[in-house]
Structure 1
Amino acid sequence: MAPRLRRSASGLLAVLVTLLALAGLAAPAASVVPGAVPASRTTPTPSPTAADASPVRVQITEVTPAVLRPGEDLVVRARLTNTTGDEIADPRAVVQLERIRPSTRADLQTWLDEPVDSSRSGRSLATVPAEAPLAPGASVELEVTVPADAVGLLDRPDTWGARGLAVAATDGRRRVGLQRSFVLWATESDDVAQARVSLLVPVVGPAAVPSGSEVTPPGPTLTELVQPGRRLDDALQIARSSADVALVVDPALVASARAGGDASDWANALSAAAVGRDVVALPWSDPDLTALAHADADGLLDAAVQASATAAVEGARPLAARSDVLWSSGPTTDQATVDLAARSSASVLVLAPDDLRADGDVAGARTTLESPAGNVVGLVPDATLTTLLADPQQLDPDATTATVVQRVLAELSVLARGSGEGLQHVLVALPREADPDPALVGAVLAGVQGAPWSRTAPLTALLGSRGDDADRAPLAATAVTADTLDPAAVGRLAVTRDATIAFAGVTDDAPSLLAGVDADVLAPLATGWRKDPVRRLVLVDAVVAQVDARRVGLTLAQTSSRNIISADSEVRFSVRNDLPAAASVRVQTTPRKACLRTEPSATVVVPAGGEEVVPVAVHAIANCEVVVEAVLTSVDGAPLAAPVSFVVRASPTIESVGTAVVGVLLAVGLVLGVVRTVRRGQSARRGARRVHDDAGTRPLPVLGGTRDEDDA
């Protein structure tokens, strides 16, 4: 038995060796020199086991051309970084391509979500080795060229679009790392649908602070933010990369920058860059719309919009900007915010990227937001594209400019294919605090313009496009978060503003008294203050106290107790005006018992720096002692100074009361007597009677008149 088993094992071993040899002849190894092997001679790269790690970080740094056409070679550059403490003995870069075209955006994401050890990574088209082993922590740049005839994509009118691209790092034949991206394939057909892309760049922050305030805003200062490489300077560089970029500007920021210092040069450059493009003027200080909506503070939003418009007229914002666009404070938007926008002068509301999500790829950026106050145009930013431009590392920690460009073009190719009913228009709205790389954004916009299925477009083109009727998820039930300013605090700001406006309205120079009030009140409402809710409440207290202090200068003098012994009398009050302008005032008194009635005084003009006496009529009904509160008010009844209280002892005399009563009774009796006499008329015993004289007895006329001569 033993010899027979040995002979069987030897025969089996010979068969295996023969099969392996034949396999080696049928599938030769991939090229190990720069270049590529024909598609017919490629072999799939072996996939690692689940227990294998990814010791090499792969980053695709260049895909040339970004849009590949028939007859062109594909060149891919990748950086391989050894993240382990062991040497990679035989590092190689392998370019792989999946030839099945993704049909939806979900298919694109599925390709990117495949794990490193997945067998789905496409066919290997070319391999390039490093010149030396890769030491721990070291990196190497490798360039792989795939000849045009190895690409293997069909040149037909309907084959354009994205294909999955992967660059694998191998150590010999073992995969030790991988990054996925896309190849964009463009055929020679001219009949290609297009998608439009509009980009909004916010020019806001830091959080507003009233002049003279000791509360410091969170984050970098304006001077710091306009320095090269910082957020506001980057926004300017992004605007310069394309005339289709729309700037969303806080006029308060521009006014502050123009006030002087290092930021003035930046403000001038921003004004120059704004020429010829769409510019949106946000309400003054970029107030938190969510906080205003849930506090029913429509007046504060109107004040912010008006402040921006006034700045434009006065030249503080030399930008030809539209002011009918509001931008949700995020991170989500609720119906209350939509209702606030509808009640205001706005016609457009830019939502947060996660609002109104729609199933599928047919939803565009423009939709209609319904509200009891009227409909508003809603602009819904594309969440994926916005993240790719603002912070691509959220989606891929190993993202590079090349992979971002390729993914944006892949997303747009799918959108363009789904736009059979018209142009698909998407919006990218960079978050307020985002600091994107201007070079990255510029490369993306250039790629969008270079692809046959996409173009950039200004904001006005998006607003003029046809809205979609896609089925969307409803808005969030509420957008209030822990960092949203409390409605009570918003109400305090609104009350102090309204009171100050009423106070200034009684003077001949209201603008002087109100200068800076709106800017002060709106400062704590700035969206930028969400980063520091604690200090924001301190600022609210400071602003309320500062604005309240403006309502001084008009004084109602304290009066002593009064004794009133007549039914009708008057109380005279002294009003002092220390304001630089004349004031029109009234005094209103309120007795705490019904035994005394009072009337508001007539309007009295108190000159600047002067004093006037204001009489108030009082009417005593009965004997009593009553406390009366007097308030100095405007013509409309708004209080202007602290009230004063005094005691009135009313003792109307019997004669005064009796005279009034008797007079009323006599007047009533007289009227009744006349009416009674007229209604009863003349009778045989009333009005006509006879008199006796020398001529005899004769009748007198009615009511004692003399007889006519003809009757003699």
Structure 2
Amino acid sequence: MNPSLPAGHLPRVLAVVPALLLLLALLVGVPVGPASADADDVTVELVAVAPTVVGPDATQRVTARVTNPGTDPVTGLRAELGVGWRVVSTRADVAAWADGGRGVATGQLDLPLDDLDPGESTEVTFELDVATLQLGADAEWGPREMSVRVTDGSGTVAVLHSFLLYDPDGGTPRAGRTAPDAIGLAVVAPLTGPALDPAAPAEYVDAVADATGAGGTYARLLDAATTGSAALSLAVDPAVVAAAATSTDDTANGWAGRLQRAGGADVAVLPPYDTDLAALAHADVTATDVAATTSLDLVADDWAAPGRWTTSVAWPVGAPDRPTLATAAAAGAQHVVVESGARPTAEGAASAVGTAPAGGRDVPVVVADETLGALVAGTGTGASTTELVQHLLADTAVLAGEQRSPAGDRDVVAAMPRGWAPDVPTFDTVLTTLAAQDWVDVSPFTQVLDAVPGTEYRVERSTVSEAELDPASVADLVTTRTGLASFATVAADPAALTGTADRDLTAPMSIAYRTDPDARATAVGLATAQADQLQDGIDVADRADVTLISDAGNLPVRIRNELPVDATVSVRLTPDDPRLVVETNPTIVVPAGTSRDAEIRVRAIGSGDVTLDVEVLAPSGVAVTDPTELTVKVRAGWETVGTAVLAGGVGLLFVAGIWRTVRRGRSDRRTTGEQVTEAAVPTGPQHTLPTDDDLPEDRAP
């Protein structure tokens, strides 16, 4: 048996149905009716909402602009203002409503619009008595759904979604007291340079100078960072500032001066040339090489960062993994800006400043709020400034409301994308409006970084982007740079020898090159080739084999220096046979563009042919020439034997001479005294030679 209603009850039930339907409409809003055929030809945008926050007795003024961008006139238009009574309590609900996925709010006011010819616009202003919403003083503080729907005779032609901010104490001395505690909000933008081509470095300087001119990206960023009370913070590539400060362009010089001026922009410092830390991480580069590749020494010597720029940050692209965070820490970054991909380990409201485990340590991170960043940047939306402001007010109000939990004070960071060029008046309007609210405390980025890390985050173990420079090329650049640094110690001033080689070897690892892989590959090849050519500036002159005939002596090794600076090198010989001992490893200075012999003292222990490896070393201990060999024919004792033979020969000749002389003195053919007398008897006339007694002077007078 089916149950039945008592007589007279059915009319009462039917009378309640309309009221229930009305209540349901108030709760969920009214669905948008089917759009007319001309829906794409009419647009509606929010022009103004005043006051920003309303109380129970306030009047909310909402101005919208309706435009006909089509080619045909539009007639019979009407505009309806809708407002919901239920608070929007989650960020997901804020986003869903702003994206237009929930129809329209409950209609409150309906006004006719002027007919619109093609290209014409008209504005409509609603004045809503908030009391008609019947929210009352006990209603919850926070944002409510608000919509403006434009219709013609056939249905809805355009809809916009926005928010009304309600304070039950608004308009009274207690205004704002029911609002949650303020969240700290910092807005920061990266100021990074273009890709530097080692073949045309002047183009980099020119591009920087152009960006500092009127309307240029750098000029607009600096204006946004120094305009108004809620200014933008900047994460600056020091190479850009150095290029502008040392440029011959007066505008660039002036821009650099403004940026570096005390009391000006809030600045954190990035690694020079905006090095792609993810590429370094995935190439397994050592911590020492990471530090060298991201050092401020890469920046021009005639520029130095202001002393107050003491905050260093790393800013990887996208969602960094654990190796990237560890590499950022090795680069000396005090904090790592994480654009996306970080997950808090605990439930509840998360603060931007926290830590994430990576590389065996807790790395300080600053996790950006993607929603706030997109809204402030205005990317991906066609919304008007007022729509952006209302969306931001609603989103930050919900964020502040989440802070009522035991999580405590909360800071959020809105990170702008690389290459962002703000519309300065719009940006100033947005941030000034936010800063004026009780639930938002707009602060400098470097001040937010001073907060105690309040949230532990997790990132992926490994995430590699196809846009990164491949590990082999990264390793080639880093190895070449390390080798060049060791080679350059031959010079009294290594930096004077290497010049811009370090910069050129770092530039291809810039994030800016991610969008041009072909140019990046060319830059890698050119930079490494130039470094290799520089390291070919010292060599060992070829020479014939050397014969060593003594027990000890000096072996000359000729060193050629084709470098533009004097080179200090040590020469080391390593024999392949113990019969030759090397006693010295001399250090010599070879003047630029000349050759000089290094005299190495050696000692022979035995005879034979010995091959010596010749090494020419920089003061750092690395070899600065290709491997070469020297052959020495060791004839130990030849000098002694030769001397002995010569001395023996001379002695024999001397003895032989004496013997011959003696032998001649004893010959049988030698004449005697008698034989001489006989032979001396004259046979002819005789002439007697006077004797000494017959000399006249000896005669007596």
Q: 2:568, 2:36 → 1: CA distance?
A: 86
Q: CA deviation at 1:445?
A: 0.9
Alignment of 1:571-610 (within 5 A): 571-577=555-561, 582-590=566-574, 601-607=585-591
Alignment of 1:312-711 (within 5 A): 315-318=303-306, 320-328=308-316, 330-356=317-343, 362-372=349-359, 374-392=361-379, 394=380, 396=381, 398-420=382-404, 421=406, 422-469=408-455, 472=457, 474-551=458-535, 553-563=537-547, 571-577=555-561, 582-590=566-574, 601-607=585-591, 611-616=595-600, 628-649=612-633
- Residue 288 (structure 1) aligned with residue 271 (structure 2): no
2:61 aligns to what? 75
2:687 aligns to what? none
**1:660-697 Cα shifts (integer Å, max 9, x gaps):** xxxxxxxxxxxxxxxxxxxxxxxxxxxxxxxxxxxxxx
Amino acid at match of 2:621: G
**1:530-571 Cα shifts (integer Å, max 9, x gaps):** 121111111122222233343355342212123456787653
1:266 aligns to what? 255
Which entry has the higher C-alpha Rg, 1 or 2? Answer: 2
Q: 1:84, 1:579 → 2: CA distance?
A: 71
Q: CA deviation at 1:190?
A: 1.9
Q: 1:509, 1:275 → 2: CA distance?
A: 37
Q: 2:503, 2:327 → 1: CA distance?
A: 20
**What stretches of structure 1 of length at least 5 have no aligned partner?**
1-18, 28-39, 657-712
2:129 aligns to what? 147
Alpha-carbon spacing, 1:214–1:277, altered in 2? closer, same or farther (3 Å): closer
1:664 aligns to what? none
Alignment check: 8 A CA contact 1:507 1:583 kept: yes
Greater shift after overlay, 543-552 or 230-239? 543-552
Alignment check: 8 A CA contact 1:94 1:168 kept: yes
Q: CA deviation at 1:374?
A: 3.2
Alignment check: 8 A CA contact 2:217 2:420 kept: yes
Q: 1:243, 1:149 → 2: CA distance?
A: 34
Of 187, 193, 196, which aligns to 1:208? 196
Alignment check: 8 A CA contact 1:593 1:626 kept: yes
The alignment partner of 1:588 has SS state of strand
Q: 1:548, 1:642 → 2: CA distance?
A: 12
Q: 1:243, 1:451 → 2: CA distance?
A: 12
Alignment check: 8 A CA contact 1:586 1:635 kept: yes
The alignment partner of 1:267 has SS state of helix
Alpha-carbon spacing, 1:253–1:602, altered in 2? closer, same or farther (3 Å): same
Greater shift after overlay, 175-184 or 292-301? 292-301
Alignment of 1:87-166 (within 5 A): 87-115=73-101, 118=102, 120-132=103-115, 134-136=116-118, 138-156=120-138, 159-166=140-147
Alignment check: 8 A CA contact 2:322 2:359 kept: no
1:48 aligns to what? 33
The alignment partner of 1:89 has SS state of coil
The alignment partner of 1:100 has SS state of strand
Alpha-carbon spacing, 1:357–1:126, altered in 2? closer, same or farther (3 Å): farther
Q: 2:289, 2:428 → 1: CA distance?
A: 38
Q: 1:412, 1:602 → 2: CA distance?
A: 72
1:169 aligns to what? 150
**Aligned-CA RMSD value:** 3.6
Greater shift after overlay, 582-591 or 302-311? 302-311
**1:391-411 Cα shifts (integer Å, max 9, x gaps):** 33x2x4x31111111111111
Q: 2:518, 2:562 → 1: CA distance?
A: 37
Alignment check: 8 A CA contact 1:215 1:538 kept: no
Of 162, 168, 185, which aligns to 1:197? 185
Q: 2:302, 2:334 → 1: CA distance?
A: 24
**1:60-118 Cα shifts (integer Å, max 9, x gaps):** 22222222234332122222234555543211221111111122111212323453xx5
Alpha-carbon spacing, 1:606–1:254, altered in 2? closer, same or farther (3 Å): same
Greater shift after overlay, 503-512 or 407-416? 503-512
Alignment check: 8 A CA contact 1:520 1:543 kept: yes
Alignment check: 8 A CA contact 1:282 1:326 kept: yes
Q: 1:135, 1:364 → 2: CA distance?
A: 51
The alignment partner of 2:597 has SS state of strand
The number of residue pairs the alignment matches comes to 605
Q: 1:200, 1:588 → 2: CA distance?
A: 56
**What stretches of structure 2 of length at least 5 have no aligned partner?**
1-13, 170-174, 641-701
Alpha-carbon spacing, 1:360–1:144, altered in 2? closer, same or farther (3 Å): farther
1:12 aligns to what? none
Q: CA deviation at 1:196?
A: 1.2
Percent sequence identity is 29
TM-score, structure 1 as length reference: 0.76
Q: CA deviation at 1:243?
A: 5.4
Q: CA deviation at 1:169?
A: 0.9
Q: 1:182, 1:621 → 2: CA distance?
A: 98
Alpha-carbon spacing, 1:215–1:318, altered in 2? closer, same or farther (3 Å): closer
Q: CA deviation at 1:207?
A: 2.0
Alpha-carbon spacing, 1:265–1:479, altered in 2? closer, same or farther (3 Å): farther
Q: CA deviation at 1:204?
A: 1.4
Of 178, 186, 191, which aligns to 2:159? 178
Alpha-carbon spacing, 1:236–1:401, altered in 2? closer, same or farther (3 Å): same
Alignment check: 8 A CA contact 2:337 2:365 kept: yes
Alpha-carbon spacing, 1:345–1:359, altered in 2? closer, same or farther (3 Å): closer
Alignment check: 8 A CA contact 1:198 1:459 kept: yes
TM-score, structure 2 as length reference: 0.77
2:680 aligns to what? none
Q: 1:202, 1:214 → 2: CA distance?
A: 22
Alpha-carbon spacing, 1:593–1:48, altered in 2? closer, same or farther (3 Å): farther
Alignment check: 8 A CA contact 1:556 1:643 kept: no
Alignment check: 8 A CA contact 1:283 1:305 kept: yes
Amino acid at match of 1:268: G
Greater shift after overlay, 370-379 or 232-241? 370-379
Greater shift after overlay, 195-204 or 166-175? 166-175
Q: 1:214, 1:604 → 2: CA distance?
A: 36
Q: CA deviation at 1:163?
A: 0.8
Q: 1:371, 1:419 → 2: CA distance?
A: 28
Greater shift after overlay, 560-569 or 52-61? 560-569
Of 207, 222, 236, which aligns to 1:236? 222
Q: 1:99, 1:592 → 2: CA distance?
A: 94
